[in-house]
Amino acid sequence: MSKVIPVTSPLLPPLEEFIPYLEQMWESRRLTNGGPFHEQLELALADYLGVDHLCLFANGTLALVTALQALRITGEVITTPYSFVATAHSLLWNDLTPVFVDIDPVTCNLDPSSIEKAITPKTSAILPVHCYGTPCDVERIQGIADNYGLKVIYDAAHTFGVRHNGSSVLRHGDLSILSFHATKVFNTFEGGAIVCPDAKTKKRIDYLKNFGFADEVTVVAPGINGKMSEINAAFGLLQLRHIDRALSMRQRIDQRYRAAIGRIAGLELFEQRSGHEPNYSYFPILVTERYGLSRDQVYELMRQHDILARRYFYPLISEFPMYRGLPSADLGKLPVAKRISSQILCLPIYPDLPDEIVDTVCRLLDQGAAK
């Protein structure tokens, strides 16, 4: 049986390195509820990422839901149709109305000029996504938020370790949300986090992710169970020891792709922005009308060779049943997002992806250009 090649996969350290963590956990009898590994990982990640405070969660979706609660967001929230569905789902879970606006054709992030046009008296926040780890236009978005008195919560699921103009992109906005899902650059099997600016906000978030408990007998908020377990935190501590090597391996694969695909007519690469220090979390390409095959034909060609390239993000969130009835979901108002969604293809990239697989992908793309 041939090996199926996914889009992304973690760098798994040797199993024997994980055994001491399990032994410590069993000896301490602490499996959850803010145990020692949980506390260590929060501090270690805040230090590595260059942020002040970080709250661990069981997954990134719970972190998004809780972030909106922590800031007491109401009414309408301007967001992107071009993302994973959890971005918008977190709004519905908080009884908020998503307002979709178009994206920038170069970065695939929210277009700031579209944001300003969508603001109404009901707007309370902006929920942008740093798509594929490329930073949003954080200065313009913050300027709009300041002018209209809006909160900014960044879905930074793709943005672990990314720096913008010399500092962590996670320092922008009121809160930033990370995902530590198994497919992410840094993972804890399942997990996530909220990056926040001060200790007071962190305390409120910590209450909200633990049912609202302030102490054994005091509940101060209608919280949920969003806690990360000790086994996930332990794996995160182990992963953190290897993260720089994993990022370096991803960079090498990115460069190999660029050298081969950059010369293929009809395929467009996403260029790195000035001042942006990337994490190489994804390798997206656009299959344009000038290419010999359609995007979906390329997708099927890859699957025939057991390469699971992803149309990421397709369809748009605004096209799903629970959203398409919204006025802002009208595809006529989202021309750039619609076009990108019809052309996007994310190629496999993960630390130990063999060179021969990268070369096979590039060979198939080269052949497709001649169709």
* Number of CB atoms found within 10 A of residue 1's CB: 4
* 103, 111 Cβ separation under 8 angstroms: yes
Which residue, chain included where needed, has tokens 């220090």? 277
How far, rounded to the nearest angstrom, does the alpha carbon of residue 271 sit from its chain's CA centroid? 19
Location of structure tokens 């899902």 = 181
Are the C-beta atoms of residues 43 and 35 closer than 8 Å to each other? no
pLDDT tier at 2, thresholds 50, 70, 90? low
Tokens 């997990």 sit on residue: 191
Rounded Cα distance between 41 and 27, Å, is 19
Range in 24-28, 171-175, 306-310, 363-367 with the lowest mean pLDDT: 24-28
Domain parsing of the chain, residue ranges: 15-101+109-238, 243-368
**Residues 14-45 pLDDT 10s:** 888 888 988 898 888 888 889 999 999 999 99
Please give the class, per CATH, of domain 243-368.
alpha beta
Spatial CA neighbour of 306 closest among 248, 220, 364: 364
- The whole-number pLDDT of residue 1 equals 38
Query: Of the candidates 52, 21, 82, 41, which has an alpha carbon nearest to the alpha carbon of residue 338?
Result: 82
Task: State the chain's mean pLDDT as an integer.
Answer: 95
287 pLDDT more than 80: yes
pLDDT in tens, 162-213: 999 999 999 999 999 999 999 999 999 999 999 999 999 999 999 999 999 9
Whether residue 347 is predicted with pLDDT greater than 90 in this model: the reply is: yes
15-101+109-238: CATH topology is Aspartate Aminotransferase; domain 2 (3.40.640)
Q: Which of 184, 156, 182 is nearest to 171 (CA)?
A: 156
**Residue 367: predicted pLDDT:** 94
Q: What is the DSSP letter of 228?
A: P
Q: How far apart are CA 347 and CA 357, in angstroms?
A: 11
Q: What is the mean pLDDT of residues 123-134?
A: 98
The answer to whether the beta carbons of residues 292 and 267 sit under 8 Å apart is no
